[in-house]
Amino acid sequence: MPLDPTKIWYVITGLAIGTFLIRYSFLGLLGNRELPTWFLRHLNYVGVAVLPGLIAPLILWPAATGGSPDLARILAALSAIAIGIWKNSVIGAVLLGFSTLYIVQFLTA
């Protein structure tokens, strides 16, 4: 079924307006106001709540392996978590995770 370019532009425009309104609701309407401390305290947990939800499916059901768990990805995740907790370093966790992933993939190939 061919897509009509006019419909595509309507969808793109609608998504752009929706995205703008969502962002404006925080930045434009709340940007100059002092937010309550309870609200700021809850915002600290957004990253901690969202990142595992984004990363876990990539580790447990990766598309590269057809959705089956892979030893290389699990070891890379565990090593990244360990160095992140031990050294409290995001860059160290990323570098060790990448290194572990590619080394284990090279050794098991």
| CB 55 within 8 Å of CB 63 | no
44-99: pLDDT as tens digits: 999 888 988 999 999 999 998 899 999 999 999 999 999 999 999 999 999 999 99
**Percent of the chain residues past pLDDT 90, beyond the cut:** 70
18-51: pLDDT as tens digits: 999 998 887 887 778 888 899 889 989 998 889 8
In the chain, domain spans: 1-33, 34-108
| CB 74 within 8 Å of CB 53 | no
